[in-house]
A and B are shown apart, each in its own frame.
Chain A
């Protein structure tokens, strides 16, 4: 048996566990519905007053309320319960008997938990956006993708933390609670940081928060922050730098997860 087949076996098993009928269908329905219902083109201002790129950003951001929250619930459930249950019930030991390295098993699990969820989320949302406003999405697809990249970085960061907690505790319940608490805490922290920046007239706090939640820097770039561009006007290179830095942190957390799963997980 080659390496591909056991990988696919684990992947298929993870898919079956993560997306039991009709979970996937419900999420697909909500993504499609949410895209149209929550889409907003911002205030009815003359297109000359606002750049088309900023309109594309506003439109994409408007979709990242409830649909993004639904996506986050799905990935948190998959990471915490998908992996947590396998560890708790000993199913992971069955996978260890496969001729597949531990990192291969974790990759298959994460590909199902995060990869498939992400592909479905982006495919449905971007297609729906295209149906709604093709003349905004087509020429500014880069802006749309950049907005998604900036907004998805923090959920992936929490997913990375949840992965570590799940592996350390070998159960997913607490990891799920930690993930949800962190997600809501970030909303509160972001508001506090805004006020601190405003009160001290220094963008330092905004810059720090942008490293883990780069949609702050993107909002500043498009001058949609509460205090606009007066406080901090990052350049496009800075935006890319912050987004890149946030994904480096995310990658590091997942690397730790892989390291722990491969070497430290005493099973």
Chain B
């Protein structure tokens, strides 16, 4: 048998093995580690509020289900809430530090530090699942840019996972077929050799 066929074939079988491992990893479900529920939280007009704060890793993400009576901008910032407050206080020393800040201050912070936005979406209701690609602080921020009071209910939990499921599954979906394609000439050759061997034995 030609060496290149064996080489490609074994490369293919290795890719299939890796793909199967990735597929298996992607099938391991995530586990909920600690949860929190807030209901009837009012976000004032043109204000933002910070909520959950913690350390996230590529194996420990955040899952939040939100229901509001109007559209909010939800952010997951890769900073501690304190860092955000401190930045606002430094840049707006005339204002006292409180727990509800003006939306424009938040926007200023985000314009200056766009790399700190881990996730961002305008939403009324829905589910957020955020898993960072590094070890990072994370703060959940609700911003109300409208002129109305918005009532928010949300449930959240930390999720513990082995690997980013979608990413790993996508990789597996590529590596397994590529592996099969590479293995085909080798398998065909093996099958031919086996058939020839059998017919020679039958004679």
Q: Does A44 contact B (CB under 8 A)?
A: yes
Main secondary structure on A side of the interface with B:
helix
Among A25, A30, A46, A131, contact of B137 (Cβ-Cβ < 8 Å):
A46
Within 8 A of A (CB), among B1-46: 3, 10, 13-14, 16-18, 20-22, 24-25
Minimum CB–CB distance for B11 against chain A, Å: 10
CB nearest neighbor in A for B80? A46
Which of the 9-residue segments B57-65, B97-105, B147-155 touches chain A? B57-65
**B10–A124 touching, CB < 8 Å:** no
Q: Does B135 contact A (CB under 8 A)?
A: yes
Give the chain A neighbours of B22 by CB distance below 8 A.
Answer: 32
**B13–A131 touching, CB < 8 Å:** no
- Give the number of chain A interface residues (Cβ < 8 Å): 33
- Cα A142 to Cα B2 in complex, Å, equals 39
Q: Does A55 contact B (CB under 8 A)?
A: yes
**A32–B55 touching, CB < 8 Å:** no
Within 8 A of B (CB), among A40-94: 40-41, 44-48, 50, 52, 55
Whether A36 contacts B17 in the complex (CB less than 8 A), given A46-B137, A133-B134, comes out as: no
Q: Does B164 contact A (CB under 8 A)?
A: yes
Q: Does A26 contact B (CB under 8 A)?
A: yes
**B134–A136 touching, CB < 8 Å:** yes
**A131–B17 touching, CB < 8 Å:** no
Which of the 9-residue segments A16-24, A160-168, A220-228, A243-251 touches chain B? A16-24
Q: Does A204 contact B (CB under 8 A)?
A: no
Q: Does B121 contact A (CB under 8 A)?
A: no
- Cα A41 to Cα B167 in complex, Å, equals 19
Q: Does A134 contact B (CB under 8 A)?
A: yes
Give the chain B neighbours of A28 by CB distance below 8 A.
Answer: 14, 17-18, 21
**B14–A131 touching, CB < 8 Å:** no
- Cα A30 to Cα B20 in complex, Å, equals 10
Whether A132 contacts B135 in the complex (CB less than 8 A), given A32-B21, A120-B14, comes out as: no
CB nearest neighbor in A for B171? A131
- Cα A50 to Cα B134 in complex, Å, equals 13
Give per-residue flags for A134-158: 1 if the beta carbon is below 8 A from chain B beta carbons, else 0.
1110000000000000000000000
**B58–A124 touching, CB < 8 Å:** no
Give the chain A neighbours of B10 by CB distance below 8 A.
Answer: 19, 21, 24
**B135–A25 touching, CB < 8 Å:** no
- Cα A38 to Cα B60 in complex, Å, equals 14
Whether A24 contacts B58 in the complex (CB less than 8 A), given A36-B162, A47-B135, comes out as: no
Give per-residue flags for B70-88: 1 if the beta carbon is below 8 A from chain A beta carbons, else 0.
0000000000100000000
Whether A132 contacts B164 in the complex (CB less than 8 A), given A24-B10, A24-B14, A25-B16, comes out as: yes
CB nearest neighbor in A for B83? A48
Q: Does B163 contact A (CB under 8 A)?
A: yes
Q: Does B136 contact A (CB under 8 A)?
A: yes
Q: Does B168 contact A (CB under 8 A)?
A: yes
- Cα A136 to Cα B58 in complex, Å, equals 10
Give the chain B neighbours of A30 by CB distance below 8 A.
Answer: 21
Give the chain B neighbours of A45 by CB distance below 8 A.
Answer: 55
Among A26, A37, A50, A52, contact of B25 (Cβ-Cβ < 8 Å):
A37
- Cα A6 to Cα B16 in complex, Å, equals 31
Whether A12 contacts B164 in the complex (CB less than 8 A), given A19-B10, A28-B14, A41-B57, comes out as: no
Q: Would you give 11 A-B contacts (Cβ < 8 Å), ordered by A?
A: A29-B21, A32-B21, A36-B168, A44-B54, A44-B60, A46-B80, A47-B136, A132-B58, A132-B163, A136-B58, A136-B135
What are the 10 tightest A-B residue pairs by CB atom distance, in nearest-first order?
Answer: A135-B134, A32-B21, A25-B17, A29-B17, A41-B57, A33-B21, A135-B133, A133-B58, A36-B163, A28-B17
